[in-house]
Structure formats: structure tokens, C-alpha cells
């Protein structure tokens, strides 16, 4: 009797595949993440604590870089102001990007017939497969003083549209929105298309006009997707360098003045200075800020999710 029970107990464990297969299938993504993410991250975390003495990099643990940066937060190099500037640019860009992509997604979900939606989505996401820097170069050509937009405006006689588009905040936003759009469209599409259609029919049936159905049903139920998209766009925008420097002239322009973005500062620091550890420390700060934005975004999304479930 006891033996039978033991035997049953031994057999009761769920059947599993060979452990070697499992180990390999876990090992591959772990190795990939380690090689291309963790190792570089560890590299500049560690380097951030090293010092430079007599033009030589001295390994060891020292908080000198961070103290140096803290000293320059609001004076001299103005790191603090640059961080604020980056926040401002990335937040406003995120709003612009979502404001651009959300109506597009609404149009795809509610006006395009079902079987064509995937195709249209493919077109909307197509820029994702081209190089970001090439797209930025293309915008440079389009927005140049004698670029297509100005030339077209001149021939149409639209003087108001003919201006210096490059090296402006608008140009930075255009480049960034173009960059962000494919991914935001996907995120928002998944969110909006998962809204139960019968809820919209029910709202209409109860007397709602199309606008009321949008405001009272579609919009509240899109909030989770929009929160996630905004966080995502802010994070990417914060760390972005290319649009800001190639299209925007390297400096943001906002209430705090014409101050370079934090990401641009890191890049110029790296290019100009011989103090690699300090650049790494700056980059570390950037990563920490991005992590905070991510956490805040996730918490906000969670809250929004709880409100509709």
C-alpha cells in the first residue's frame, strides 16, 4: 500500500521535457540580453566610479565624478537645467506624438474594413524598418531653406509657410514624431482594437451620438494605451540625440532659455573631453532618470487599468 502511494507520488510530478532543452532555450535570450545590454550597462556603471589623474584613467571606487556633476548642476555646465530642458522637450514631444498617432489609430480601427486593417497597419509601421538617421537626413533635406517645403510654399505663394524650418523646435518634434510613430501606432492599435465593439453599439443604442460614444466609452477605455504610449514616447524622446542636434540645432528652446538637451550634453562631453569616467557618470544619471520615468509610467498605467477592470 505504502509502496503504491510512493510510486504514485513519484509519478505524480508533471511530465517535463529534457532539461537540456529547457536550459538552452532560457540560456539564449539570457546570453543575448547579457551581451548586448547588461555588459555595456555594467561597463559604464563601473567606469563612472573611476577617476582621471594626470590624463590617466585610474580604476577604483570614487564618487568624485558625481560630486563634480552635482557641483555643476545649476552652474557652469548647467546639467540640471539641461535635464529640465530634456524633460520639457520629451514630454511635449510625447504629447504631440500621441496626439498624432491616436486619431490615426482611431481611423484605422473604426473606418478601415476589418480585413484591410493589417495591411494599413503595415504601411503605418513601415518607417520602422528604415534607418532613423537616414530619416533624419531626409527631413533635413525637406526642411532646408531651399528644401521641398519652402520651394513648394514659394511656388504656391504661401509666404507664411516659407521660413527657416531647420534648427527649430518644430523640426526636432517632426523628426522625433516620425521616429516614434510606428511603435506608438502599434501600442495604440492593440489598445483601441481591444475595446469591445458591443460597448460602443450599446452606448449608441442608449442614445449617444458618435461624439458622445467617443467621449464616454472609447476615450476612457483608451486611457491605458495612451498612458503606456506617453511613457514610452517620453523615455525615447528623453534619450534622443539625433533629432535634437541634426534638426533642432542642438539646443532646446523653452521657458528656461536656449539650453542644450541633456543627451546632447553627454554626447558633446564625450566628444570633447578626455574624462571618460565622468561621461559615464553622466550617462548613468540619464539611465536612472529613464528608469524613474519607466516606473512612474508603469504605475500610472496600472492605475488606469484598475479603473476599467
Partner 1 sequence: MTAPAAPLPLTGTAEPDLVLAGIAKRFGDHVALGGIDLAVARGEFVAIMGPSGCGKTTLLRIIAGLERMDAGTIRLRGRSVGNVPVNKRNVRLVWQNYALFPHLDVKGNIGFGLSLRRLDKAAIRERVAAAAAMVSLDGFLDRRVTQLSGGQRQRVAIARALVTEPDILLLDEPLSALDAHLRVRMQGEMKRLQQRLGISFVYITHNQSEALSMADRVVVMNAGAIEQIDAPEKLYRRPRTRFVAEFVGANNLLEGTVAGFEDGHLLVDGTVGCMAAHWAADDGPPPARGTAVTLVVQAGKLRLNARSPRDNRVQARVVEREFSGTHVLYILRVEGSAGPAIEIRALMQDPLPDSVGAGFFDLYWSPEDVCVIGPGLLPRRIDAPGGGPGNARTGAASIPQLVGEDARG
Residues engaged in binding partner 1 (CB under 8 A): 196, 198-199, 201-209, 212, 216-217, 220-221, 307-309
| 114 sits in which H/E element | helix 114-125
Of 89 and 217, nearer to partner 1 (C-beta) is 217
Q: Which residues of 126-148 are buried (b: 16+ CB within 10 A; e: fewer)?
A: eeeeeeeeebbeebbebbeeeee
Task: Write down the least CB distance from residue 217 to partner 1, Å.
Answer: 7
Q: How far apart are CA 60 and CA 50, in angstroms?
A: 5
Of 195 and 293, nearer to partner 1 (C-beta) is 195
Task: Write down the least CB distance from residue 226 to partner 1, Å.
Answer: 14
Of 82 and 218, nearer to partner 1 (C-beta) is 218
Q: Where are the alpha helices (DSSP H) in 126-261?
A: 132-143, 148-156, 169-193, 197-205, 210-213, 219-239, 242
Of 205 and 302, nearer to partner 1 (C-beta) is 205
119 alpha carbon, distance to own chain's centre: 25
Task: Write down the least CB distance from residue 196 to partner 1, Å.
Answer: 7
Of 82 and 109, nearer to partner 1 (C-beta) is 109
Task: Write down the least CB distance from residue 41 to partner 1, Å.
Answer: 39
Task: Write down the least CB distance from residue 105 to partner 1, Å.
Answer: 19
Widest pairwise Cα distance in the chain? 98
Of 204 and 253, nearer to partner 1 (C-beta) is 204
Residue 2: Cβ-neighbour burial (10 angstroms; 0-12, 13-18, 19+) = exposed
Q: How far apart are CA 73 and CA 70, in angstroms?
A: 5
- Kindly write down the DSSP assignment for every residue of 258-280, as one continuous string: EEE-HHHHHHHHHHH-S-HHHHH
Amino acid at each position: 500500500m505504502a509502496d503504491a502511494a510512493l510510486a504514485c507520488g513519484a509519478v505524480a510530478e508533471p511530465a517535463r521535457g529534457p532539461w537540456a532543452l529547457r536550459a538552452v532555450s532560457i540560456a539564449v535570450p539570457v546570453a543575448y540580453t547579457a551581451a548586448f545590454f547588461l555588459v555595456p550597462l555594467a561597463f559604464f556603471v563601473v567606469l563612472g566610479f573611476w577617476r582621471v589623474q594626470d590624463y590617466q584613467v585610474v580604476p577604483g571606487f570614487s564618487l568624485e565624478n558625481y560630486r563634480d556633476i552635482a557641483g555643476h548642476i545649476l552652474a557652469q555646465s548647467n546639467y540640471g537645467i539641461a535635464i529640465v530642458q530634456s524633460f520639457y522637450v520629451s514630454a511635449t514631444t510625447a504629447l504631440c506624438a500621441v496626439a498624432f498617432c491616436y486619431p490615426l489609430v482611431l481611423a484605422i480601427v473604426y473606418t478601415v474594413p476589418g480585413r484591410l486593417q493589417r495591411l494599413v497597419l503595415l504601411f503605418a509601421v513601415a518607417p520602422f524598418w528604415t534607418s532613423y538617421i537616414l530619416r533624419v537626413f531626409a527631413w533635413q533635406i525637406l526642411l532646408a531653406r531651399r528644401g521641398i517645403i519652402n520651394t513648394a510654399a514659394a511656388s504656391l505663394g504661401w509666404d507664411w509657410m516659407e521660413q527657416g524650418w531647420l534648427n527649430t523646435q518644430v523640426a526636432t518634434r517632426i523628426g522625433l514624431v516620425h521616429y516614434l510613430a510606428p511603435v506608438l501606432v502599434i501600442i495604440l492599435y492593440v489598445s483601441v482594437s481591444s475595446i469591445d465593439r458591443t460597448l460602443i453599439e450599446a452606448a449608441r443604442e442608449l442614445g449617444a451620438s458618435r461624439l458622445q460614444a467617443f467621449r464616454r466609452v472609447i476615450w476612457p477605455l483608451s486611457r491605458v494605451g495612451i498612458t503606456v504610449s506617453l511613457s514610452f514616447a517620453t523615455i525615447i524622446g528623453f534619450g534622443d540625440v539625433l533629432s535634437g542636434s541634426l534638426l533642432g540645432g542642438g539646443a532646446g528652446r523653452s521657458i528656461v532659455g536656449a539650453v542644450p538637451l541633456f543627451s546632447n550634453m553627454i554626447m558633446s562631453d564625450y566628444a570633447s573631453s578626455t574624462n571618460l569616467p565622468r561621461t559615464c557618470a553622466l550617462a548613468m544619471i540619464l539611465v536612472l532618470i529613464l528608469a524613474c520615468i519607466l516606473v512612474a509610467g508603469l504605475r500610472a498605467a496600472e492605475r488606469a487599468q484598475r479603473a476599467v477592470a
